Amino acid sequence: MAYQVPKQWVHGNIPTAADMNKYSDAQNAIHDITGDRLYARPAAHALVGVDNDYHVFVHRYRWLYYQSTGTIEDIADPTNNTQTLSEDGEPTLLDLNTIGWLYPGKLYAVTGCTWAAESRDP
């Protein structure tokens, strides 16, 4: 089953069982992709419900899993510190130790990707 973005709710909406099943289906699709790996720090959306392809991290773990093409940006200096991310339709693994400006504790953003998560395990 392919991942599909679940409905975004507004005040006054009444969810049905079919609507809520889409959330379960989305979680199952993500689990099919990632397996039983432990992602200790999934991204936080910078603007929840508004901009779902802008994920903010505090760098803690070595590996980044992501899907879709996009960029990694230094929030403090996006002009000089940006790296392009690309993939071929499957989730991709990136070794964050290969990015010179990214150090533990640094804030960074992943833009343009459907989802992203740091992991301690490759």
Q: Where are the alpha helices (DSSP H) in the chain?
A: 17-34
With a cut of 60, say whether residue 106 has pLDDT above it. yes
Q: Which residues contact 12 (CB under 8 A, 6 or more apart)?
A: none
Model's pTM, two decimal places?
Answer: 0.61
What pLDDT is attached to residue 26?
81
With a cut of 70, say whether residue 52 has pLDDT above it. no
